[in-house]
Structure 1
Amino acid sequence: MGTLALIETLDRDGSVRQSHKVQAWPVRVGRSLDNDIVLDDPHVAAFHFTVDANEDHGVFVAVGDTVNGVTVGAQRLAAGERWHVGARPADITAGRTQLNLRLAEHTLSPEKALTASRVFAQSPSVLLWLVLLNLLSVGFTTYLATDPELLPRTLASNGMMLAAIVLVWCGAWTLLSKLFTRRGHFGWHLRVMLTALLALELLGFVASLLGFAMSWDWLTAYDYIPEMAIAALALYLHLQAVEPHRHRFTRGFAVGALIMGLAVGAWRHWQDHESLASELYMTALYPPVFRVADGVSADAFVERLAPFEKALDEKAAEPTDPDDEDGEAEAEVESGK
């Protein structure tokens, strides 16, 4: 007699961990060594379930003496219950172990096209260049924003902070990759993060420089949109090393994170200053030599401020909170003392 069925024990990612060819019925599954398939799962009974065939060659799953029962597809079976196998392979869950039962008469699904797998191994030279570029970026921005006396201490502090953030972030993703794929892919996660940091730094510089040169204040006012897009792309690339065979899931998760991030960012900006923009005016000023757009005369600038006068007058005419007035009066008395 040939092979009657195939029972496969699956990992959490769906890959086959153990395969058992069924040459005769019944097949007993459980933790006891007397079983045909032994499961090392503390949530599985000694004789958890049996797969057997009746006289008319119908195959069924019979649940043994177990507290947790058996789940077949979406149906929960308690101890003593039976479930007859249909025309398709059955997904069986016993305890925390997933199994797949496929009979010889089950029709095979069509072959799936093999998608190109991403190469996660990274060249040390590429990673070294990314580390150096990020250090130069942090050093340059720190130099621009720090007094000369405090520069050495601030450089060391910012460098150590960057190293700690990168190691913690990449370490967490490496642990996830190890759990799901048995490979850490630390170099891949390091490359993704360092590239994303450089892209964010370059985006901020280009947006502020072009905004200043062309008087396009919207470039910096809505810069959080491309920033969220870069973060979502980095999240997608990180997930590729955790779930390399579930492209649709990783893409959907990244797009959902992007939409959620944009919604939260827009809501926060509206709560702060009743505008979807991240800033009300351009905060980065460059030397006049970078200016391309035509300048505005003082009279024209004052003219443009005229529409704001009425709104400011109305705001100033609003009655103040009596509690605030009492507080101000008490503060004046205290200061007079």
Structure 2
Amino acid sequence: MAALIIQTGIRHGRVAEVVKSRSDSLTIGRGFNNDLVLVDPYIAANQLCFRQREGEWFVDIIDETNPILINGQIIVDNTQVQSGDRLRVGRTSITVYLDNHQVEPTRKLLLSGWLHHDNLGILLPTLVLLGVCFLDAGVDFLQVSARYEWKEYVFYSLIGALIITIWAAVWSITGRLLRHEHHFSSQLLITSVAAGVYTLLEPISSYIEYATNSIFAGEVTAIFFVLVVLTGVLKFNLMFATNIVRSTTAALVASISATIFIHTMNYLEQTDHSNRPEYSSVLKAPFAHISGDSSIDEYFQELEGEFEQLKLE
């Protein structure tokens, strides 16, 4: 005799709740005398009764105030149900299974040891976050600055750390709501690593733009790097926070959609005509400034001195 399983809370990526029949009947309703109690106000105190007859399960409608749907079709009393059928009762969706229903193969979780390893706690993600902040400040200094303005670098590094922390916190709250586990340390770690990877990849588009003398090539490269990093971080965010099966596909679709939306908005905000020519932003390849550079003010002072000498001559 196959037992009947009722699954509720079946929103995609969430933790579901299941009730298994202990006899040849199972009742559903808002009353506390039912096997499955639902709090939907559009469900009667005694709404449905599943009964097993000759090895098959049938559903009897006790209250007909609101229609009952199976797989989108309105049903009548004494309707046979099959494993995998989805019922709509009021505003609540439930899925019916038999205990011999085949489930999906177990997925391999490579980070299972890290997720439940509490010895390091928040220490390692915090150290990685600080390392990313120093990396970002160092890359900016080596590429675009001739003088070390530490206040400016510290300010932007703190802003970046705040954005990373907020991103990780939002996904942690999502995981707490959907799976009852926040995994904040893991979210912070993977977000910090993704930010560090993007910090290293982002200057490459400028080099490609300079080498090819093409603004388009630089833009395509920058978009590609954004898609790669965003897809990677979203994949792990979804994996930690939800039960979505195809997290990579979902992350890729979300990344492409976000990128298209942002670039479409930027394109629509551009003026139809400009009387100014468009030049590449890279006049010289942004090689690292190790030593011997002068600021723009010092350069103009030297240039004015040379002009003064020419006038005297």
C-alpha distance in 2 between matches for 1:287 and 1:65: 74
* 1:115 correspondence with 2:107: yes
C-alpha distance in 2 between matches for 1:227 and 1:16: 34
1:175-214 → structure 2 map (5 Å cutoff): 175-209=173-207, 211-212=209-210, 214=211
Secondary structure, aligned partner of 1:159: helix
Relative distance call for 1:16 and 1:154 in structure 2 (3 A) is closer
Relative distance call for 1:4 and 1:226 in structure 2 (3 A) is closer
Contact between 2:14 and 2:242, CA under 8 Å: does it hold in 1?
no
Contact between 1:8 and 1:100, CA under 8 Å: does it hold in 2?
yes
> What 5-or-longer segments of structure 2 have no aligned partner?
273-277, 290-313
Contact between 2:59 and 2:79, CA under 8 Å: does it hold in 1?
yes
Aligned residues, how many? 272
Hey, what does 1:260 align to over in structure 2? 257
Rg larger in structure: 1
Instruction: Please point out which of 72, 96, 101 is paired with 2:96.
Output: 101
Structure number with higher relative contact order (C-alpha < 8 Å, ≥ 6 residues apart): 2
Hey, what does 2:235 align to over in structure 1? 236
Stretch of structure 1 that moved more, 174-183 or 238-247: 238-247
C-alpha distance in 2 between matches for 1:16 and 1:282: 52
C-alpha distance in 2 between matches for 1:97 and 1:128: 42
Contact between 2:5 and 2:20, CA under 8 Å: does it hold in 1?
yes
TM superposition shift of 1:233: 2.3
C-alpha distance in 1 between matches for 2:287 and 2:244: 52
Secondary structure, aligned partner of 1:233: helix
C-alpha distance in 1 between matches for 2:50 and 2:170: 41
TM superposition shift of 1:20: 2.8
What code does the residue aligned with 1:168 have? Answer: I
TM superposition shift of 1:236: 2.1
What code does the residue aligned with 1:170 have? Answer: A
C-alpha distance in 2 between matches for 1:128 and 1:255: 27
C-alpha distance in 2 between matches for 1:100 and 1:165: 40
Stretch of structure 1 that moved more, 85-94 or 221-230: 85-94
Over residues 177-223 of structure 1, what are the superposed CA-to-partner deviations in whole Å (9 max), with x where a residue is unaligned?
112211112122212221222222211223334654x4564652422
What is the root-mean-square deviation in Å for CA atoms of aligned residues?
A: 3.8
Relative distance call for 1:288 and 1:215 in structure 2 (3 A) is farther
* 1:85 correspondence with 2:59: no
What code does the residue aligned with 1:48 have? Answer: Q
Contact between 2:209 and 2:282, CA under 8 Å: does it hold in 1?
no
1:287-326 → structure 2 map (5 Å cutoff): none
Secondary structure, aligned partner of 1:85: strand
Relative distance call for 1:147 and 1:63 in structure 2 (3 A) is farther
Secondary structure, aligned partner of 2:69: strand
Hey, what does 2:17 align to over in structure 1? 17
Relative distance call for 1:187 and 1:95 in structure 2 (3 A) is farther
Contact between 1:58 and 1:84, CA under 8 Å: does it hold in 2?
no
C-alpha distance in 2 between matches for 1:189 and 1:112: 26
Over residues 7-28 of structure 1, what are the superposed CA-to-partner deviations in whole Å (9 max), with x where a residue is unaligned?
3343335755343324234x33
Secondary structure, aligned partner of 2:6: strand
Hey, what does 1:72 align to over in structure 2? 70
> What 5-or-longer segments of structure 1 have no aligned partner?
291-337
TM-score scaled by length of structure 2:
0.69
Relative distance call for 1:135 and 1:76 in structure 2 (3 A) is same
TM superposition shift of 1:136: 0.9
